């Protein structure tokens, strides 16, 4: 698991992440993915390529597999990587490790698009973004 | 769309559902699904079959397709239905309609399991739950 | 109570408003106040007076008195009114009614300021905002 | 500030803590207070004195003074202390420091009660809780 992802993001849980069932709410896992995604975007320089209100990233679809319940307090490490780059979209994958245990408590994936917000349609990814994700992942994506 | 789902749940958006991008946050769609799911469970009598701390439902996986941005204030109608019943798990599908428009702004699906919480493993669905979902959906699921 | 507030905002609770204690979380009451405040601002035409990124409202302080626990599902009616207008700040009061019961489950208050965001300091309220709040409340505030 | 509080709790902000205004939402400050409170309760042994569903703490009132906007990403240190112990209630105070700056971005206070949940009324604080808070604060509270 440690080698599958180059980028790991540390997240302490919050008590309020839990719902009335007494475990972390299922929607909150998507927030954990978002926290990791934002830091990944920072790492690959995506934020600098955005044109506020005009061009930037959008979530096309996202899924999560819940393998074990998470209880607060826990120290999470969320692995994130880019798995595929297409013309207007790219794919991300995640795994959530809990308190140093080796087996993920959850994993998931996102399809992202590069979007012209005004026209509400996907447009080709900026070349520097492709390059920086390929360079970061050290792979021909 | 109206006929695809028998159960529709009305949800007014909240301003805080939006994130710094100025649209409803991607994790919040999963909360909308959860609101619909809780009402569906109520409709098919699931809550009465739970044994607190021992037996009940758990989310196995959940995905969402984001087709259009949602902005507050909006009046949402979330359609939900059971699409499949297996031995220990069952499938749900959702669509989110916005302000009376006919085309969904998002759709998604969940795999649910009936779980023995103490043993942390899926167990067969209670027969009355199978029956009530089949009866409600008027289908051989 | 009904006559104390002219403006009432209807809010259905959400299951996730509850925390692991099984009741609505204390921070969520502040979100209920915010929902009411946003609608009140709409009613008195505040939003039209904002200059994005330059001039607009800011919360100076906010308090809540928790009188009874709220459990989902509940239908809330939040009363909101302007109680005082000063040079650069104004005061709001709230009460939360639950399921048609006459006694508030919570009440609270906010001090708002009109703020020059770039200089990070309070500036005098726009005259039209003073006038519209006085007119709406039918009082010399 | 450093000496005012003995207990400090570290909180990294999350992107979603911010609202469409682009700063940390006002209700979220109350969540930061809650995170600190939970850790304080742990420190003074409160959690061990609870009788689930019967006896435990409840928030009576809570206020926050917002002195400066907080933007993600930020590293927060929340100071918390017990300022007063009465028969059935006690008082807490908080300050939020941001990125190592000496002046608080926010401060606030809570009145807590020890509550018989079934009778929905405040009852005298357990003597061990009084003692442990006095001992921790090194004061005659």
Q: Residues A63-95: pLDDT tens digits?
A: 999 999 999 999 999 999 999 999 999 999 999
Q: Which of C12, C15, C34 sits opposite B16 (nearest CB)?
A: C34
Tell me if chain D has a CB within 8 Å of the CB of C61.
Answer: yes
Q: A-D interface: how many C-beta pairs under 8 angstroms? A: 19
Q: Choosing among A13, A38, A57, A78, which should be mutated to test the D contact, i.e. which has the most D CBs within 10 A?
A: A38
Cβ neighbours of B35 in C, within 8 Å: 14-16
Q: B-C interface: how many C-beta pairs under 8 angstroms? A: 19
Joined tokens for residue B139? 């289908």
Q: Which of C15, C16, C35 sits opposite B15 (nearest CB)?
A: C35
The phi, psi pair for C128, rounded to 5°, reads -60, -30
CA D126, CA D47: separation in Å to the nearest integer?
12
Find the helix or strand (DSSP H, E) in which A119 lies.
none
The residue ranges of DSSP E strands in D48-116, in sequence order, are 55-66, 75-85, 89-98, 106-116
pLDDT at A1 over 90: no
Cβ neighbours of B31 in A, within 8 Å: 27
pLDDT digits (tens, 9 = 90+) for D48-101: 999 988 999 999 999 999 999 999 999 999 999 999 999 999 999 999 999 999
**What are the angstrom distances between the C-alpha of B46 and each of B50, B124, B130, D116?**
7, 14, 10, 31
Look at residues B111, B105, B117 and name the one whose alpha carbon lies nearest to residue B83. Answer: B111
CB C18 within 8 A of CB C72: yes
Percent of chain D at pLDDT > 90 equals: 92
CA A94, CA A81: separation in Å to the nearest integer?
7
Q: Which of D12, D15, D31 sits opposite A16 (nearest CB)?
A: D31
Q: Which of B11, B12, B15 sits opposite C34 (nearest CB)?
A: B15
Taking CA atoms, what residue in C is nearest to A25? C16
Side-chain-side CA neighbours of B2 within 13 Å: the count stands at 3
Q: Which residue has the higher pLDDT, A2 or B130?
A: B130
pLDDT bracket for residue A53 (50, 70, 90): confident
Selected residues 78-97 of chain D with any CB under 8 Å from a CB in chain C: none
Q: Which of A15, A34, A38 sits opposite D35 (nearest CB)?
A: A15
pLDDT at C34 over 80: yes
Taking CA atoms, what residue in D is nearest to C22? D53
Look at residues A39, A15, A43, A32 and name the one whose alpha carbon lies nearest to residue A98. Answer: A32
Is B16–D25 a contact, with Cβ atoms under 8 angstroms apart?
A: yes
D105 alpha-carbon distance from chain centroid: 16
Among left, alpha and beta (phi > 0; psi -120 to 50; other), residue C100 is left
Would you say the pTM of this structure is higher than 0.95? yes
**What are the angstrom distances between the C-alpha of A34 and each of A39, B25, B67, C129?**
9, 10, 18, 38
Is D20–B25 a contact, with Cβ atoms under 8 angstroms apart?
A: no
CA B1, CA B78: separation in Å to the nearest integer?
11
pLDDT bracket for residue D140 (50, 70, 90): confident
* Start-to-end Cα distance in chain C: 20
Tell me if chain D has a CB within 8 Å of the CB of B27.
Answer: yes
Joined tokens for residue A86? 């297409």
Neighbours of A103 (CB within 10 A): 10
What's the gap in Å between the CA of B102 and the closest CA on chain D? 27
Exposed / middle / buried, residue B108 (Cβ in 10 Å: 0-12, 13-18, 19+): buried
Exposed / middle / buried, residue A6 (Cβ in 10 Å: 0-12, 13-18, 19+): middle
Q: What value does the mean pLDDT take over residues C117-140?
A: 94
Cβ neighbours of A20 in C, within 8 Å: 15, 18-20, 22
Residues 6 or more apart whose CB falls under 8 angstroms from that of D24 comprise: D13, D17, D18, D69, D70, D71, D72
Joined tokens for residue D23? 């700063």
Tell me if chain D has a CB within 8 Å of the CB of B52.
Answer: no
What's the gap in Å between the CA of B64 and the closest CA on chain A? 5
Tell me if chain C has a CB within 8 Å of the CB of B119.
Answer: no
B50 alpha-carbon distance from chain centroid: 17
Look at residues C74, C65, C55 and name the one whose alpha carbon lies nearest to residue C17. Answer: C74
């Amino acid at each position: 698991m440690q080698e599958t992802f180059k980028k790991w993001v540390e997240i302490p849980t919050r008590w309020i992440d839990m719902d009335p069932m007494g475990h972390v709410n299922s929607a909150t896992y998507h927030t954990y993915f978002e926290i990791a995604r934002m830091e990944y975007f920072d790492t690959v320089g995506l934020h600098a390529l955005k044109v506020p209100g005009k061009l930037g990233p959008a979530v096309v679809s996202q899924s999560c597999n819940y393998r074990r319940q998470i209880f607060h307090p826990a120290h999470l490490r969320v692995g994130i990587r880019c798995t595929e780059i297409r013309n207007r979209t790219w794919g991300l994958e995640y795994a959530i490790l809990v308190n140093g245990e080796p087996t993920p408590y959850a994993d998931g994936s996102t399809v992202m698009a590069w979007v012209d917000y005004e026209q509400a349609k996907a447009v080709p990814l900026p070349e520097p973004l492709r390059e920086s994700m390929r360079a970061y992942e050290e792979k021909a994506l």
